[in-house]
Amino acid sequence: MNIKRNILLNAGPSTTTDTVKMAQVVPDICPREKEFASMMKDLRADLLKTVHADPQQYTSVLFCGSGTLNIDVCLNSLLPADKKVLVVNNGAYSTRAVEICEYYGLPHINLQFPVLERPDLDVVRKTLEENPDIALVYTTHNETGTGILNPIREIGALAHEFGAVFIVDTTSTLAMRPIDVQKDNIDFCMASAQKGLMAMTGLSFIIGRKDIIEASKDYPKRSYYCNLYLQYHFFEKTGEMHFTPPVQTIYATIQALKEYFAEGEEAKWARHTRVFNAIHKGLDELGFKDAVKREWQAGLVVSPIYPDDPNWDFEKVHDYCYERGYTIYPGKISTTNTFRLCALGAIDEDDITAFFKVFREALEHYNIAIPVVYND
Ligand SMILES: *Cc1c(COP(=O)(O)O)cnc(C)c1O
């Protein structure tokens, strides 16, 4: 097997190992077989270990779909009648949670903060004080649109102080930046297999408190396919996913988890940090500015600002790099023109060094000044 190795610097799916790719090539199997259920049982247990969740207290529930499905499931399933969701929102991914609340007509407070800043915890506290009907507090760990790291441990502590359940979107940190559900005050977190785990698209999972899921049995039912209790209950009863699972992606995820535990939580985070630092070094050498304060960055996504150069054209630079095996990614900040370079995936420092050779070539090819120019 000789599979071309592309370096994906987008925010997921990420570059995978060949062994994970190959793990999908298996004999055909009906996922209702005991053999398959037993694989999923081990997979669910291993997922808990990635966030140090106690299996007595926490469970993991698998779904077929992309990561956004997890946000949908948590919000529509975990809100009791006559209660409210508080979304601590400083970016595109928390805004997605607000939109989900709007689609389901869930009572919610969209507590908005500037996208290039961290949420003000005093304002979060005040909102909780003034709204005793808040049952769910929701935020995003690493706002993938900007790369900002949110203070989840502190927000979780506030949620618990006011008797609310804390849900965190950890899609762009889980299995990369270490998470400990107990210490980080997390009741529910989530991810998809294609990001930190470096597996394939199509499998998403929620890790959360069993007692809260059990209690949600009697909450208003707002979705059928995306109900957390229904899926959890079916898993507990039969060991199977309620509806057809993404079979091949599950094989890939099992292999990816093996590789995750072999690399080790700390070593993997150290590798992502090396890649992140190499991205910064490369950008610094070319004169690029960051949209987000360096000390606030989660260590996984860098958002450089477009240079004020008449020759700058993101699409052209993208295509030049893409043709040579490197994928760079558009930004997601409405107020500033940025692009993104992410430290996800099975890549290391050397890949970033090689990328910056191609990136510099692209700038030269299109007569974009180096160092890049900014007007202010
Ligand atoms: C990738 C990502 C998601 C899921 O996005 P999909 O397009 O559904 O895969 C959700 N939240 C965050 C923070 C993410 O980075």
pLDDT per residue as tens digits for the range 33-81: 999 999 999 999 999 999 999 999 999 999 999 999 999 999 999 999 9
Q: Examine the domain organization and report whether 230 and 318 are in the same domain.
A: no
Residue 279, pLDDT > 90, answer yes
66 lines ligand 1 (CB under 6 A): yes
Q: Examine the domain organization and report whether 270 and 192 are in the same domain.
A: no
Q: Report, as an integer, the average pLDDT of 262-286.
A: 98
Query: What's the gap in Å between 35 CA and the centre of ligand 1?
Result: 31
pLDDT at 223: 98
Q: Examine the domain organization and report whether 216 and 170 are in the same domain.
A: yes
Q: Examine the domain organization and report whether 235 and 146 are in the same domain.
A: yes
169 lines ligand 1 (CB under 6 A): yes
8 occurs within a structural domain:
no
Specify the CATH number for the domain of residue 317: 3.90.1150.10
11 lines ligand 1 (CB under 6 A): yes
Helix/strand/coil (H, E, C) string of the chain?
Answer: CCCCCCEECCCCCCCCCHHHHHCCCCCCCCCCCHHHHHHHHHHHHHHHHHCCCCCCCEEEEEEECCCHHHHHHHHHHHCCCCCEEEEEECCHHHHHHHHHHHHHCCCEEEEECCCCCCCCHHHHHHHHHHCCCEEEEEEECEECCCCEECCHHHHHHHHHHCCCEEEEECCCCCCCCCCCCCCCCCCEEEEECCCCCCCCCCEEEEEEEHHHHHHHHHCCCCCCCCCHHHHHHHHHHHCCCCCCCCHHHHHHHHHHHHHHHHHCHHHHHHHHHHHHHHHHHHHHHHCCCECCCHHHECCCEECEECCCCCCCCHHHHHHHHHHCCEECEECCCCCCCEEEEECCCCCCHHHHHHHHHHHHHHHHHCCCCCCCCCCC
210 occurs within a structural domain:
yes
Q: Examine the domain organization and report whether 51 and 196 are in the same domain.
A: yes
Ligand 1 atom nearest to CA at 170 = 13
Specify the CATH number for the domain of residue 251: 3.40.640.10
Condensed to tens digits (0 to 9), the pLDDT of residues 166-204 reads 999 999 999 999 999 999 999 999 999 999 999 999 999
171 lines ligand 1 (CB under 6 A): yes
Q: Examine the domain organization and report whether 258 and 269 are in the same domain.
A: no
Q: If you average pLDDT over every residue of the chain, what do you get?
A: 97
9 occurs within a structural domain:
no
Q: Examine the domain organization and report whether 328 and 185 are in the same domain.
A: no
Q: Examine the domain organization and report whether 64 and 202 are in the same domain.
A: yes
Tally the domains of the chain.
Answer: 2
375 occurs within a structural domain:
no
Q: Report, as an integer, the average pLDDT of 246-268.
A: 98
Given 262, 278, 295, the domain boundary residue is 262
pLDDT at 155: 98
204 occurs within a structural domain:
yes
Query: What's the gap in Å between 69 CA and the centre of ligand 1?
Result: 9
From 66, 115, 170, give the residue whose CB has the most ligand 1 atoms within 8 Å, as the site to mutate. 66
Q: Examine the domain organization and report whether 114 and 198 are in the same domain.
A: yes
Q: Which domain holds residue 93?
A: 18-262
Query: What's the gap in Å between 91 CA and the centre of ligand 1?
Result: 12
Q: Examine the domain organization and report whether 187 and 58 are in the same domain.
A: yes
Ligand 1 atom nearest to CA at 172 = 15
Residue 90, pLDDT > 80, answer yes
Ligand 1 atom nearest to CA at 68 = 8
Condensed to tens digits (0 to 9), the pLDDT of residues 132-172 reads 999 999 999 999 999 999 999 999 999 999 999 999 999 99
Ligand 1 atom nearest to CA at 144 = 15
Query: What's the gap in Å between 143 CA and the centre of ligand 1?
Result: 10
Q: Examine the domain organization and report whether 274 and 254 are in the same domain.
A: no
Given 232, 262, 292, the domain boundary residue is 262
**Which residue's CA is the nearest one to ligand 1's atom 12?**
171
12 lines ligand 1 (CB under 6 A): yes
Residue 278, pLDDT > 90, answer yes
374 occurs within a structural domain:
no
Ligand 1 atom nearest to CA at 194 = 9
**Which residue's CA is the nearest one to ligand 1's atom 11?**
171
Q: Examine the domain organization and report whether 144 and 276 are in the same domain.
A: no
**Which residue's CA is the nearest one to ligand 1's atom 3?**
67
Given 239, 262, 285, the domain boundary residue is 262
3 occurs within a structural domain:
no
Model pTM?
A: 0.97
| Of 163 and 333, the one with more pLDDT | 163
7 occurs within a structural domain:
no
Query: What's the gap in Å between 275 CA and the centre of ligand 1?
Result: 21
